Amino acid sequence: MRGTLRKCKLSSRKKDDHSRRSSWTKANPPQGVVCKKKPEVEQIVDHASVHKYVHCMGYRLLDIQNGHFSLEFELEDRPCVASAIKERYGIPEETMHIMCTEYYFGGSQFVFQDEWDAPCLISTSHNGNQILKMLHVALTEQGEKTE
């Protein structure tokens, strides 16, 4: 049975869950366990080399209560988000803190949080809201093209 399981993470560690691990299945994991799918990889053959592109899916732009936006995405999509930022605004300035990382690009500051494998990029200004809206559109279109 263990060979059929994908990587699973316990959100709450209980002794009973560990003893029943052998009875888990992909279709029916016990409560409190999150099974993540591996991203699909598509190979595109070029005359000079072979490139792998990870399908980027699942971007959400949320209007949070303080009037700013949060761009939320899957853990597997972090490289896609980083590359979209780099293409449009260059390499962002980065300041690491204990609970978050601050990024500065496009003339705005953003807070990046990655709690419980749920990464998000939060704007701190009106200009940042506009940048996140543009990134959301670009990333969503990119995901549609690769599917």
* Of 58-62, 63-67, 92-96, highest mean pLDDT: 92-96
Q: What are the pLDDT digits (tens) for 128-144?
A: 999 999 999 999 987 66
User: What token pair was written down for 123?
Assistant: 């704007």
Residues 17 and 80 in one domain: no
Considering the domain boundaries, does residue 115 fall inside one? yes
Q: Which of 115, 77, 114, 110 is nearest to 95 (CA)?
A: 110
Considering the domain boundaries, does residue 70 fall inside one? yes
Please tell me the pTM assigned to this model. 0.59
H or E element at residue 139 = helix 126-146
Range of the domain at 17: 2-35
Which of 7-11, 39-43, 45-49, 129-133 bottoms out in mean pLDDT, i.e. has the lowest?
45-49
Considering the domain boundaries, does residue 46 fall inside one? no
Considering the domain boundaries, does residue 49 fall inside one? no
Supply angle C-alpha 140, 96, 64, rounded to 5.
Answer: 45
Task: Residue 103: give its domain's CATH number.
Answer: 3.30.1360
Q: What are the pLDDT digits (tens) for 87-133?
A: 999 999 999 999 999 999 999 999 999 888 889 999 999 999 999 99
Q: What are the pLDDT digits (tens) for 73-87?
A: 999 999 999 999 999
Considering the domain boundaries, does residue 40 fall inside one? no
What's the domain count of the chain?
2
Q: What are the pLDDT digits (tens) for 6-35?
A: 343 434 444 444 444 444 454 554 454 444
pLDDT band at 147 (very low <50, low <70, confident <90, very high): low
The whole-angstrom separation of Cα 130 and Cα 136 is 10
